[in-house]
Amino acid sequence: FMDLAMSIERHLAERKGGPIPMNIDGATAVVFAELGLAPPLARGLFCLSRSVGAMAHGYEQMQQGGRNKGPTPPHYRWHYSGKD
């Protein structure tokens, strides 16, 4: 799986004219695939790791006196009313 991922990375670099490094999601997918994890389990672990990261970020923001802004309710969203 790592060879395939690196091949995709090289192909993208050739097509785009410069390096396009794999992001953390791609690297995590390679690790899970190399470990032989079934896709549903890998998806669950991916979601779990993202959730832990979001919780840590929220906790850090609270410790610094900030707040996390979540999605706004549909009726409260801003709408662009100017020219396109």
Picking from 40, 38, 58, 36, the residue whose alpha carbon sits closest to that of residue 48 is 40
Say whether pLDDT at 76 is over 80. no
Can you state the angle between helices 2-16 and 24-34, rounded to 10 degrees?
A: 150
SS3 27: helix
> Does residue 84 lie in a domain region?
no
> Does residue 52 lie in a domain region?
yes
Parent domain of 51? 2-68
pTM over 0.85: no
Q: How many domains does the chain have?
A: 1
Query: Over the stretch 6-61, which tens digit does the pLDDT of each residue have?
Result: 999 999 999 999 999 999 889 999 999 999 999 999 989 989 988 998 889 888 88
